[in-house]
Amino acid sequence: MASGVERFLERAKDLGLEIEVREFPVGTRTAADAAAAIGCDVAQIVKSLVFVAGDRPVLVLTSGANRVDEARLADHLGTTTVRKADADEVRAATGYTIGGTPPFGHDTELAIWCDRDLTTHRQVWAAAGTPTTVFPIAPEILVRTTGARVLDVS
């Protein structure tokens, strides 16, 4: 079986994207770790967070500087219950582990929401399939590739 980053790169290529993956052996599991390793502002880090809305998983791409407001997200989704997915639910929905979940290239089709704050940067950085790999991407390409709906979610 291909590694998380190999699967991600294959899926990115299928979407017509050439991705430049950078590896940081000390890890980029948290937004602060990633920003320190890359040398960028924590606000430029894309956190790919899986939530369960009712009984369906959804993906929220948010700035590393922000926290998702679950009540606001529930309002956007038209549901009363939203909670963070556990590690098993994240893997089942995306095929990747927490800390390495990329914004696209998942095992299942997910509704995706993007934090408006990410769109204010020229370049953002997202996980590339493992907790030690990231890639740069322009926010407009991120939104177009994921089909994300841009909202204020923090």
Indicate which CATH number applies to the domain containing 73.
Answer: 3.90.960.10
Which pLDDT score, from 0 to 100, does residue 26 have? 77
Per-residue pLDDT band for 1 (boundaries 50, 70, 90) equals very low
pTM attached to this predicted model? 0.93
Separation CA 147–CA 142 (nearest Å): 8
Token reading at 152: 């204020």
Residue 90 near residue 101 (C-beta atoms within 8 A): yes
Does the structure show a pLDDT above 70 at 6?
yes
Strand order, beta sheet including 124-127: 22-23, 133-137, 124-127
Does the structure show a pLDDT above 90 at 153?
no
Q: What is the mean pLDDT of residues 8-28?
A: 90
Does the structure show a pLDDT above 80 at 2?
no
Q: Whole domain around residue 62: which residue ranges? A: 4-151
